Structure 1
């Protein structure tokens, strides 16, 4: 059992706005046992950056973990050679070269088509009317599950996210997760004959070409959907909201003084869409004189690390001109997000510049209706916007 000091969290308040509690953790107890989570949290950026690379102690292999039980054992829940073998298998699909030469054009086509339909309206919920379908359509292309509906991609992703964060063991949440994974398995079965006959650069195809067992193929497709839908979806909507509420900073991007990539990277630091990553203690260890025992549950709080005052001056502010090189929004060490290049291309190379060039005079329709939520995964639930129609 961890000897870390106990830190009580009001989970409802933490879900609405985790940042006051995270700031208190960094100040008073950067390593603390949180009874409500049944685990020890790491809140300081440097502790996380160092410990995440120490896979001999902070293991991703969690045989009894929720992700393994609900989604199958994917590469995120493996370490060492087992992890690297599966990471190598998917690399041809998500490498920087493939993203630039193959996927970016498809991302652009999805953005143009969806925005073309939106331009006929005066007011939309940007979360559900652009960010969600755009992210899902891009993910359909990358995974190879092109027979899915984008609505199912989003719903099944959310159901899995809820399932693997269901530390309270709510049976209805687990049931929705099981239904989602069954739907994904059916979508994989639907596309197997297609990619077998005509191999391509999709994740499904490259894993089959690499000879991965079907259990690993299925588990890694589910991993790609669970993280690959919500992170771009939430980052797109969130960065649009951040720029609209900071018009001086939007002006800097429009003038070419700051890149769209810088705007996205700062948003991912400021409001980390993926705010937490769990680990299991594989052997006795001590950090800051705090003893950790085998099988202790650990939570690396990226959302806290990215607001660590030791590395980010006025960390609570959105500032696209700041140096974000110390951000760990995509993780650190061997488990650095394999989809980072695809995500950056979707958001910074395609979505953001296309949104602000096509939707004239884009603005918030109602600040009161903008709603954020979550701590392990954080994003906007609603973003009402309006813009000038092309014929006006």
Structure 2
């Protein structure tokens, strides 16, 4: 016998929720395993085990109808469908083969030395400055330098266009609200440059973007399809890493004991990044579509309905995490869903880990303390969560 589903009139994309989503997430987690969000006619999954099971069952909860609010079965989108994120087998396997070959562990390992060198240079510049905006000078500067270089994006224009592109792409996954409309306006100036730089003639010959084009041809992808693959990597690889690095800096600045622990034990670098991604998940939510009637802990979610998987809520579920709102670099938080799970788990997460390790290693070497000098400023977005500004003071470590 199936229970009666809880219903909520909550607006997940309201300005108050985007500014601080965690009270809303708690209400949804406590309301039930599946909650009908009547404003948008979609089901909300906020509990860790429920979100994880949905991610691991890609046949029931499929992606090709869109991972944003727009139902691609019924409406057209502002862009062509993502070849990875919004594809199901067998199409997903072809795209994954291409990108996975480029983002292999061996390929990432070859870049560790230059990335550690770049991080050291960035941190030394920031230490010399003393007071900085941690987002502009570190969290954004690192991917703009090393990830964009690896992808093969030319330097001229990247600082202006790449952060703006990722921000607008994720805003366009939401409803027709003010953020969506601002993104549409921004797209008019940003997208022509982005589109121009998705093709081999604008990408450096040895970079990941050019490699994707070459491998995509062998898998039967056309030129435009390969460009869409590069676009997806560009959007996913830039802003989510920026947001994750920014949140890690904020967490360490507001928890000096945790920064001291990280400096004392470099092995905590990766767990610290995982903990920041758990606590302030860069990707807050993605949508799925239900292929068949499915039982969710006694509630029936009918075939054809759409579901929003709330990673930001799942990663703070007290059913899964003890004291979930606390930042703890010693926590075993590797089971978080900040990088997804299952078939559509983030294929570039090792790239993000490598950047975080490089930046944190340089900070630990050169900075005795990382302190806030003023309140941070969060940037609202329909899909991702992260800081717009993080005023920091860095003090030099004794030699």
TM-score scaled to structure 2, two decimals?
0.87
Deviation track 1:68-117 (CA, whole Å, cap 9, x = no partner) reads 7233222110011210111111122211121012x223323432343344
The answer to whether structure 1 residue 331 and structure 2 residue 340 are counterparts is: yes
Measure how far apart 1:204 and its partner are.
3.3
* Structure 1 residue ranges (4+ consecutive) displaced by more than 6 angstroms after TM superposition: 389-392
> Secondary structure of the residue that 2:77 maps to in structure 1?
helix
1:205 to 199, 202, 211: 211
| Matching residue of 2:282 | 273
Measure how far apart 1:329 and its partner are.
1.3
CA separation of 1:118/1:310 partners in 2, compared to 1, >3 Å: closer, same or farther? same
The answer to whether structure 1 residue 126 and structure 2 residue 138 are counterparts is: no
2:198 to 188, 191, 212: 188
Residues 77-116 of structure 1: pairs in structure 2 closer than 5 A: 77-101=86-110, 103-116=111-124
1:33 to 25, 33, 36: 36
Q: Quick one: distance in 1 between partners of 2:187 and 2:252? A: 34
Decide whether the 8 Å contact of 2:152 with 2:203 is kept in 1.
Answer: no
2:55 to 52, 55, 79: 52
Decide whether the 8 Å contact of 2:22 with 2:313 is kept in 1.
Answer: yes
1:138 to 134, 146, 151: 146
How many residues end up aligned between the 2 structures? 383
Deviation track 1:19-47 (CA, whole Å, cap 9, x = no partner) reads 11111211122311223444211111111
Measure how far apart 1:330 and its partner are.
0.7
CA separation of 1:17/1:370 partners in 2, compared to 1, >3 Å: closer, same or farther? same
| Matching residue of 2:10 | 9
The answer to whether structure 1 residue 309 and structure 2 residue 318 are counterparts is: yes
Measure how far apart 1:328 and its partner are.
1.4
Q: 5+ residue gaps in structure 1?
A: none
Q: Quick one: distance in 2 between partners of 1:257 and 1:201? A: 30
CA separation of 1:168/1:325 partners in 2, compared to 1, >3 Å: closer, same or farther? same
> Secondary structure of the residue that 1:137 maps to in structure 2?
helix
Measure how far apart 1:182 and its partner are.
2.7
> Secondary structure of the residue that 2:129 maps to in structure 1?
coil
CA separation of 1:98/1:314 partners in 2, compared to 1, >3 Å: closer, same or farther? same
Deviation track 1:49-80 (CA, whole Å, cap 9, x = no partner) reads 11222222211001664797233222110011
Decide whether the 8 Å contact of 1:5 with 1:29 is kept in 2.
Answer: yes
CA separation of 1:386/1:81 partners in 2, compared to 1, >3 Å: closer, same or farther? same
Q: Quick one: distance in 2 between partners of 1:295 and 1:271? A: 31
Measure how far apart 1:232 and its partner are.
1.3
Residues 125-274 of structure 1: pairs in structure 2 closer than 5 A: 125-147=133-155, 148-168=157-177, 170-177=180-187, 179-189=189-199, 191-192=200-201, 195=204, 198=205, 200-211=206-217, 212-256=221-265, 259-274=268-283
**How well do the aligned residues superpose, as a CA RMSD in angstroms?**
2.7
CA separation of 1:68/1:249 partners in 2, compared to 1, >3 Å: closer, same or farther? farther
Decide whether the 8 Å contact of 1:143 with 1:203 is kept in 2.
Answer: yes
